């Protein structure tokens, strides 16, 4: 028997999650691996802003702007702000609410040309502002298509990537800001399911195989140095595909088998096995949670939350894994990052509301 599922998943108790993960953090998967790139350990960092500075209450998402300033969503104050690398807040972008230009969620922040775009998946809106924070307009994509997990992306000033509500033919559709469909894209993974069957889900968790319900979960990453090209990341499989904004597939590659990905997956399967013995609950399998593209390469943030080991994979323009970066941190990092390529810094947020820039 299949159970229907609302767009919002059941939140698992953080106490249970933390307790289980602490028990698993010393475990590592057994197995053999093909020859892998050497690990580059990143330990040197500078603090851009700390909680003690009082500028931000609870930063939860960040993006590096074209002029090296940061756009940060402060969920504590429900506000997107622009800050300098010295930690000074210089602009506020929009505000929380339901009026014109107001957001109820911030699911991505994307800079395109002279605009800042905020994806608000709660209202099925993409809000557009000038860089000084002045509101321009909003695109309502709810009539075009939406998905229980996948969210839209702004690829350039004129082209959007919007999820298909039904994924029978393609995961996404390219759509012009002014309202015309360009093309469907995004291959449907074999064995995917659009309905949650808890009997099947429990078996997949027990067998430690990718749940069919999550195989379509994916997100887009712009190639910042190659306008008109972007990556589509299948976060559960995991797999990466490269497209242009005409919808043409450039390349596609499954991610290389690595200990850090296996560790994250094993922690997930063990956690959900324990939870599902007590109740019906669901949690997405996210092996990659964020990414940055530049010069044909993509840097992917491994979902290692609460495992006290944080990883970034770099794949080249052919989809080959060429670098593995391990970020040393005495506190956990949030699943949001960006890269300042000009200054060779990976910018992250700690769970203590600190924004750090690691040299790489």
Q: How far is CA 348 from the centre of its chain?
A: 13
Contact of 141 with 160, CB cutoff 8 Å: yes
The per-residue DSSP string of 61-95 comes to EEEE-TTS-EEEEETTTTEEEEE-TTS-EEEEE-E
Per-residue pLDDT, 199: 97
Band (31; pLDDT cuts 50, 70, 90): low
d(CA 339, CA 65): 10
The alpha helices in the chain, defined as continuous H runs, are 14-24, 198-207, 259-276
Verdict on whether the full-model pTM lies above 0.95: no
Contact of 358 with 327, CB cutoff 8 Å: yes
Neighbours of 125 (CB within 10 A): 22
Per-residue pLDDT, 52: 92
Contact of 126 with 157, CB cutoff 8 Å: no
Query: Taking residues 166-180, what's their average pLDDT?
Result: 84
Q: What dotted CATH number matches 14-359? A: 2.120.10.30
Examine the pLDDT at 8 and tell me if it is beyond 80. Answer: no
CA atoms within 13 A on the CB side of 288: 30
CA atoms within 13 A on the CB side of 317: 7
Query: Taking residues 309-316, what's their average pLDDT?
Result: 93
Domain definitions of the chain by residue range: 14-359
Band (16; pLDDT cuts 50, 70, 90): very low
Query: Taking residues 147-164, what's their average pLDDT?
Result: 91
Residue for token digits 């491994």?
302
Over residues 212-244, the pLDDT tens digits come to 999 999 999 999 999 899 999 999 999 999 999
d(CA 302, CA 184): 28
d(CA 270, CA 308): 17
**Residue 239 β-bridge partners:** 234, 254
Contact of 57 with 49, CB cutoff 8 Å: no
Question: Of all residues in the chain, what percent carry a pLDDT higher than 70?
Answer: 89
């Amino acid at each position: 028997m299949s159970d229907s599922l609302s767009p919002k998943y059941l939140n698992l108790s953080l106490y249970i999650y933390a307790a289980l993960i602490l028990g698993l953090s010393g475990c590592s998967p057994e197995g053999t691996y093909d020859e892998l790139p050497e690990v580059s350990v990143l330990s040197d960092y500078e603090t851009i802003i700390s909680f003690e500075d009082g500028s931000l209450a609870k930063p939860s998402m960040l993006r590096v702007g074209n002029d090296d300033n940061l756009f940060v969503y402060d969920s504590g104050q429900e506000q997107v702000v622009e800050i300098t690398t010295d930690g000074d807040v210089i602009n506020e972008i929009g505000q929380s609410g339901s009026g014109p230009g107001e957001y109820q969620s911030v699911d991505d922040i994307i800079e395109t040309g002279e605009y800042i775009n905020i994806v608000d998946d709660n209202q099925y809106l993409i809000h557009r502002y000038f860089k000084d924070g002045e509101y321009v307009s909003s695109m309502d994509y709810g009539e075009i298509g939406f998905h229980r997990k996948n969210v839209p992306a702004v690829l350039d000033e004129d082209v959007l990537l919007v999820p298909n509500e039904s994924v029978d033919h393609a995961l996404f559709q390219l759509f012009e800001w002014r309202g015309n469909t360009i093309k469907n894209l995004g291959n449907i993974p074999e064995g995917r399911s659009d309905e949650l069957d808890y009997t099947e889900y429990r078996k997949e968790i027990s067998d430690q195989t990718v749940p069919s319900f999550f195989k379509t979960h994916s997100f887009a990453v712009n190639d910042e140095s190659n306008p008109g090209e972007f990556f589509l990341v299948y976060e559960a499989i995991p797999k990466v595909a490269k497209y242009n904004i005409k919808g043409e597939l450039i390349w596609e590659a499954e991610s290389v088998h690595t200990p850090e990905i296996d560790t994250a997956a094993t922690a997930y399967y063990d956690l959900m096995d324990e939870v599902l013995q007590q109740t019906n609950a669901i949690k997405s399998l996210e092996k990659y949670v964020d990414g940055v593209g530049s010069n044909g390469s993509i840097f992917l943030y491994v979902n290692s939350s609460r495992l006290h080991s944080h990883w970034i994979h770099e794949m080249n323009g052919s989809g080959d894994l060429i670098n593995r970066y391990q970020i040393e941190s005495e506190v956990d990092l949030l699943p949001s990052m960006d890269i300042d390529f000009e200054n060779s810094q990976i910018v992250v947020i700690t769970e203590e509301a600190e924004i750090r820039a690691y040299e790489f």
